[in-house]
Amino acid sequence: MTRLTVIDNSGAKEIMCIGHVRNRNPAKLGDPIRAVVKSARHDGKVSRKDIVGAVVVRQRGRHMRRDGSTIRFQENAAVLLKRDLSAPIGTRVIGPVARELRASKYMKIVMMASRAADAPRSNSVQLVLQDI
């Protein structure tokens, strides 16, 4: 059961993954998951113990891209989605998100984010992003 930081303004601070929507184990960048809210702000759109959908936008483990580059973030992070996984709950995404979200149906999250993490074009380059 992995805990992830929530990087949108939905009101949740931390969630715990309780299952994968697609039967991929473990979930990778861009995969939808089911999660329970572990801590939340009192004035947010979601509250503690709510079961929500989410999409993984950052992961601590190395992610190998098709061009040979790898990307690794400093934390595991997610953006909350509605129960039917159609759209995000929040209206802002704080910090960078992975470029892999463009290929899936989460282009709206990429547009709300401050930036999408792109790796340099050379092979065997590791890009490590840290939150500032």
What pLDDT digit, counting tens, does each position of 30-61 carry? 889 999 999 999 999 999 999 999 999 999 98
| CA atoms within a 13 Å half-sphere pointing along the CA-CB vector of 76 | 17
Q: What phi and psi, each to the nearest 5 degrees, are found at residue 108? A: -65, -35
Contact assessment for residue 61 and residue 77, using Cβ atoms and an 8 Å cutoff: no
Q: What is the percent of the chain with per-residue pLDDT over 70, rounded to a whole number? A: 87
pLDDT tens digits for range 83-109: 888 889 999 999 888 888 887 788 888
Q: Model-level pTM?
A: 0.82
* DSSP state at residue 74: S
Nearest to 60 by CA among 125, 123, 5: 5
